[in-house]
Amino acid sequence: MRVYVVSEHALEEARKGENGHFSLSGEPKCGECNWEQSRLFVLACSQKEADALYLSGDAGLCGECFAEFLQEENYKISR
C-alpha cells in the first residue's frame, strides 16, 4: 500500500454529488476532524482506489489526522 493524495478529478466528482465532503466555502474537509484542507491523504493500492475510497466516504484525511492514524495503527514507514 502507498499514500496517495485525493486527485483533483475525485474532488470535482465529489463537488458534483454534493455528498458532504466540502465546507460551505467549497473546500474539501478532512473525514476525521472535519476541518477544511487543501489536500487529503489516503492509504491505498492505487490512485484509482484512493479516489474511489474518498468518493465513497471511506477515506480522506488531513496530514495531522493521517499521521495520527498511522501512529495508532502501528504502521512503519519505509522507503
For 8-65, write each residue's pLDDT tens digit.
988 888 887 666 677 666 778 899 999 989 899 999 999 999 999 998 889 999 999 9
Half-sphere exposure of 43 (CA within 13 A, CB side): 11
In angstroms, the CA 57 to CA 34 distance is 12
The model's pTM is 0.84
Whether 62 contacts 23, CB under 8 Å? no
